[in-house]
Amino acid sequence: MRILLLFAAAAALIARDPLPQRIARTDPSKYRQGKRVHAGAGELHYMGLFDAQTFNTNVIFLHRGVIPPGGGIGHHFHNHMEEMFVILDGEAQFTVNGRTSLIKGPAGAPCRMGSSHAIYNPTDKPVQWMNIAVGSIKGKYDATDLDDDRVGVPLDPKPVFISMRLDKARAGAMRDAQGVRYRRVLQPEVFYTNWSYVDHYVLAAGASTPATARTGVEEFYYVISGEGKVTIGKEQATVKAGDAVPVFLGEMKSFENTGTGKLEMMVVGVARTKWVLD
């Protein structure tokens, strides 16, 4: 099986663009405007960083944008896929399966397959937002709207659904990597699809992650803050806040903090087959 995966990875990589061109760069000037998304309130401004053609695994998309004050995404179901809204600052009202809580960023809440979700910005400041989707079937997106913008609904003081927080203070020292702090924020048990995990990395100035490769999992690294350098195979490229780096099957990768502050990244891993994490 490992040999077959290696051959599949090698075949998939033959036509890949050079590394600097593969990196998706957040550019607010390219945001498009969405009004009443899934019958939600107000507006949403966003762009696509990755789509269903980017990866070999069942990643459907990575969207990055801003939820203006009074904006959001309406309540809707996903029956064949999973999605996670993430906010990188501020706070927003997250809804999962009809229960709503105000959550402070940087944080997120996965909507597992067969569940419903929504998000709403009740504040007077824009919220930096991200959306990640992974399907049970490659390239298949589904949604059923509930015509519910979730404005003015009762709030639970604490979420009664799965949520995660990207808290730098909770990241622990990574073995054999001086200056690197790491935490697995969401485990594979959280998801029904082949979505495997969400990790959080914080690199001190000058620190590097070990060079590693996975034959059964693809990843993308989203740079939350800082700047650095990524090495994939024999290629190198610079990265900064707002960049998303795809890492395909079998690729050897490492990251180095070349700045003076911390390099902080969120990592999403999606497997070819459930529970294959190497």
Instruction: Encode pLDDT of 234-247 as tens digits.
Output: 999 999 999 999 99
Which residue among 108, 139, 165 closes a domain? 165
Range of the domain at 82: 31-165
Least confidently predicted of 5-14, 67-76, 122-131, 183-192: 5-14
Q: 115 and 201: one domain?
A: no
> Is residue 15 one of the residues assigned to a domain?
no
Same domain for 251 and 210:
yes
199, part of any domain: yes
**pTM recorded for the entire structure:** 0.93
Percent of the chain with pLDDT over 90: 91
- Do 47 and 31 form a contact (C-beta atoms < 8 A)? yes
CA distance linking residue 226 with residue 93, whole number of Å: 27
CATH number of residue 238's parent domain: 2.60.120.10
Q: Does any domain span residue 17?
A: no
Which runs of consecutive H residues, i.e. helices, occur in 107-261? none
pLDDT of residue 10: 44
Q: In the prediction, which pLDDT does 3 show? A: 42
Mean pLDDT for all residues in the chain: 94
- 188 within some domain: yes
Strand partners, 108: 86, 164
Torsion (CA) 13, 17, 23, 28 in degrees, nearest 10: -140
Average of pLDDT values for 63-74? Answer: 98
Instruction: Say if residue 70 is in the same domain as residue 57.
Output: yes
What is the rounded average pLDDT of the residues 134-144? 97
Residues 155 and 221 in one domain: no
Helix (H) or strand (E) holding 19: helix 19-22
Residue finishing a domain among 165, 191, 206: 165
Residues 58 and 136 in one domain: yes
Instruction: Answer yes or no: is pLDDT of 166 > 70.
Output: yes
Residues 96 and 176 in one domain: no
Number of independent structural domains in the chain? 2
- Given 127, 145, 165, the domain boundary residue is 165
Q: What is the pLDDT of residue 12?
A: 47
Indicate whether 145 and 41 sit together in one domain. Answer: yes
